[in-house]
């Protein structure tokens, strides 16, 4: 699970262009924790024979999951939903290009 969370955070960090502020990192950590809980609940719910009780009511955990999803959505919205390009350092690009062509 830890590897999956680390990969998810790296993916989101990359989507945001890298170099996040401390506040963005804090939001990313909260989003990752929410993502873990939602993923675990999704797995548990998928293994249930029914999401409805004998009284034909939705299991309370389904409502709680939706609240967590809404919270995760708000966190991701604060971080930004559009992919941002990482700033290109011209000197680093030229060094990399020269190294590739020299090989």
Average pLDDT over residues 80-92: 76
pLDDT tens-digit map of 32-48: 999 999 999 999 999 99
Domain residue extents for the chain: 2-102
- φ and ψ at residue 52, rounded to 5 degrees: -120, 140
Q: Whole-angstrom distance between the N-terminal and C-terminal Cα of the chain?
A: 39
- φ and ψ at residue 58, rounded to 5 degrees: -65, 140
What predicted TM-score, i.e. pTM, was given to this entire model?
0.74
Average pLDDT over residues 21-30: 96
**Cα three-residue angle 79-74-76, rounded to 5 degrees:** 30
């Amino acid at each position: 699970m830890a590897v999956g969370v680390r990969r998810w955070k790296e993916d989101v960090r990359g989507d945001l262009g890298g170099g996040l502020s401390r506040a963005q990192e804090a939001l990313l950590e909260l989003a990752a924790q929410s993502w873990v809980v939602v993923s675990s609940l999704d797995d548990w719910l998928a293994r249930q024979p029914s999401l409805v009780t004998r009284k034909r009511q939705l299991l309370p955990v389904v409502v709680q999951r939706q609240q967590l999803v809404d919270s995760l959505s708000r966190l991701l919205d604060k971080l930004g939903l559009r992919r941002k390009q990482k700033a290109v350092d011209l000197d680093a690009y030229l060094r990399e290009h020269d190294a590739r062509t020299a090989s």
